[in-house]
Amino acid sequence: MPLRGIRTTSNLDLPTLGIELNIVYLTTEAVPFAKTGGLADVCGKLPSVVADAGHQCAVIMPAFDSIRRSQMTIEQTEMSFAIEMPGDRIVGGRVLRSYLPGGMVPVYFVDQPQYFSRPFLYGDKHGDYRDNAERFIFFCRAAIEVMKRMDRPVDLIQCNDWQTALVPALVQNDGHGFPRDTPTVLSIHNLAYQGSFPAESFEATGLPWDRFRSDSFEYYGGMNFLKTGIVTADQVCTVSPTYAEEIKTPLHGCGLDPILRSLGDRVSGIINGIDTDIWNPAKDVNLVRNYDVTNWEHGKLENKLALQAELGLPSNPDVPMIGLVGRLADQKGWDLILPVMREHLRERRPTQWAVLGSGDPVIESELTWLASEHPDQLAAYVGFSDPLAHRIEASSDLFVMPSRYEPCGLNQLYSLRYGTICVVTETGGLADTIINTTRETVENETATGFHLRGHDAASLDRAIGDALRLRFHEKEIWKKIVERGMTRDWSWGASALQYIELYEKTISLKQNGKMRV
């Protein structure tokens, strides 16, 4: 049965650039079907917005158990296939179908319970699943089988992260009837996760061992999924312009920086957008009082008082609230946050802290203990609650995000939209989206937040102090910074147009013979 890439018809008004394309997105995560991080937000929204610009789009992802908990309608198709895997095993699969919310972009699920019917996507409390290499090699090969059965030729494949990064090499080496010259784009959402496995994993690709070479699959004697995609995709894209440059350096290149530097302008960066229907303080159902740029002061105050009551913090309209939402890990700057937080609590500085997140058990334990010792200043919710995340964004005066590296980051964009000023490190997407407050940026009216001057606890403490001094003593400047952030457009519209331009450029260069075929 042919599969159809169906264009949406929604109220987004985006111009069409060039010819209508048939674009297929390969991913392991897409909201609302599966999510562990920002990849899911991108792949749950970008295809629909690109389709609104006049293109046919489809998504292919594994049929994880989570898709059946998504409350979306999942239907069977008539398509099934079988793939030869190591040990002379024939592993069968079938294809299920649903659609992204708010449109008609189809999502095709590779249903293979042996590989994908598990409690978690990539691993459990004991670590990564031991057969992850085989699982995602199977998914890459299955995705090619699905694309072969589409009712019109695929004009471009966008792969996302290491789990799909073998596809460009598989297509080039042996498409099994799929056009070997199909243009490909690889999006890197976090270079630190590369999919490195022993060389024997290559057997699952079904290719002869003479294809296991350093110009594709082989990497220092092993197999590195992400490296394979980087060297074989036609274009490599990251989720912010600054991160695209950072990953070419030894500090942020995670061992792949020499390869990335060799690609030159084949590496680019496009800032992620946010879903401005879901993240909209003017109509957010999670808030006790909705607000916009015209009445944010009253709106944020009412939400703060309500959150203080919810979290058991003393009711105080004047105390600055510092919000933190996200993963509890050193990568997110918790090695800086905890010392500063301890000082604030020990010295009983006039601040309240609202924390939501999970991750490192040591950090979780420390936060739980600090909250029990200082219940009037710190509320810590270990776990995740999407409604609470919205309320913290709406109620906080400051949002602290001193990440060691941040490919893009979404919480700072949510904060800007909700009138919450950010204190961030000058890295990746944080550097691209938060303009540091200086005398110059105040005068030219571009400031939207505060940067740390160094990556240590003292720098974080100084930046928070600078922000609080402005809040208390320069209220008109503070007001302008808040309102400037609220009026910036971080919707997916502008980002989607940049992706379309990248797709058209990739196809054009490929057709003109300026890329590998």
Average pLDDT, integer, range 9-16: 41
- Provide the pLDDT confidence category of residue 28 given band limits of 50, 70 and 90: very high
pLDDT tens-digit map of 127-183: 999 999 999 999 999 999 999 998 889 999 999 999 999 999 999 987 667 899 999
Using the predicted structure, report yes or no on whether residue 441 has a pLDDT greater than 50: yes
3-state secondary structure of 127: strand
Edge-to-edge order in the sheet of strand 222-224? 196-197, 222-224, 218-219
- What residue type is 99 in one-letter code? Y
Helix, strand, coil abundance in the chain, percent, nearest 5: 40, 20, 40
Q: Grade residue 36 by pLDDT with cuts at 50, 70 and 90.
A: confident
Q: How far apart are CA 225 and CA 169, in angstroms?
A: 10
- The answer to the question of whether 248 is labelled as a binding residue is no
pLDDT at residue 483 greater than cutoff 80? yes
pLDDT value at position 266?
Answer: 95
Q: Which residue has tokens 């303080």?
A: 281
Is the pLDDT at 13 greater than 70? The verdict is no
Span 261-267, average pLDDT: 95
Q: pLDDT tens, 374-432? A: 999 999 999 989 999 999 999 999 999 999 999 999 999 999 999 999 999 999 999 99
d(C-alpha 446, C-alpha 436), whole Å: 8
With a pLDDT cut of 90, the percent of the chain lying above it is 87
- Give the strand pairing for 222-224 and 196-197: antiparallel
pLDDT, residue 460, reads 98
**Residues pairing with 355 in the sheet:** 324, 380
CA distance 209 to 207: 6
Mean pLDDT confidence for 236-257: 97
Question: Does domain 296-489 correspond to CATH entry 3.40.50.2000?
Answer: yes
pLDDT value, residue 332? 95
CA distance 337 to 339: 6
Which pLDDT score, from 0 to 100, does residue 175 have?
64
Look at residue 15 and tell me whether its pLDDT is greater than 70: no
Q: In b/e form, how buried is each residue of 169-197, taking b as 16+ CB within 10 angstroms?
A: bbbbbbeeebeeebbbbbbbbbbebbbbb
Strand 89-99 and strand 75-85: the pairing is antiparallel
pLDDT surpassing 60 at residue 10: no
Burial of residue 479 (CB within 10 Å: 0-12, 13-18, 19+) is middle
Sequence-distant (6+) residues with CB within 8 A of 136 are: 28, 162, 163, 164, 166, 195, 225
Asked whether the beta carbons of 345 and 370 are under 8 A apart, the reply is yes
* DSSP-assigned letters across all residues of 363-374: HHHHHHHHHHH-
Q: By the 8 A CB rule, do 510 and 181 touch?
A: yes
Quote the CA–CA distance of 255 and 251 in Å, as a whole number: 9
pLDDT for res 102: 82
Four-residue CA torsion sign, 331, 333, 339, 342: negative
CB 218 within 8 A of CB 227: no
Phi and psi at residue 84, in whole multiples of 5°? -80, 125
Cβ atoms within 10 Å, residue 314 = 11
Residues of the chain with CATH 3.40.50.2000: 22-273+494-511, 296-489
CATH number of 22-273+494-511: 3.40.50.2000
Would you say 339 and 456 are in contact if contact means Cβ atoms under 8 Å apart? no
Q: Quick check: 398 and 420 in contact, CB under 8 A?
A: yes
Q: Is 465 exposed, middle or buried, given 0-12, 13-18 or 19+ CB atoms closer than 10 A? A: middle
Residue 14 predicted with pLDDT over 60: no
d(CA 368, CA 383): 12
pLDDT digits (tens, 9 = 90+) for 119-129: 999 998 889 99
The mean pLDDT of 479-493, rounded to a whole number, is 95
Q: Is residue 1 predicted with pLDDT exceeding 60? A: no
The alpha carbon dihedral of 381, 386, 391, 397 has a sign of positive
516: confidence class by pLDDT, cuts 50, 70, 90: very low
Distance (Å, rounded) from C-alpha 411 to C-alpha 95?
34
Distances (CA, A) of 165 to 160, 170, 217, 461: 7, 9, 10, 40
Q: ∠305-393-390 over CA atoms, to 5°?
A: 95
Give residue 396's Cα distance to chain centre. Answer: 23
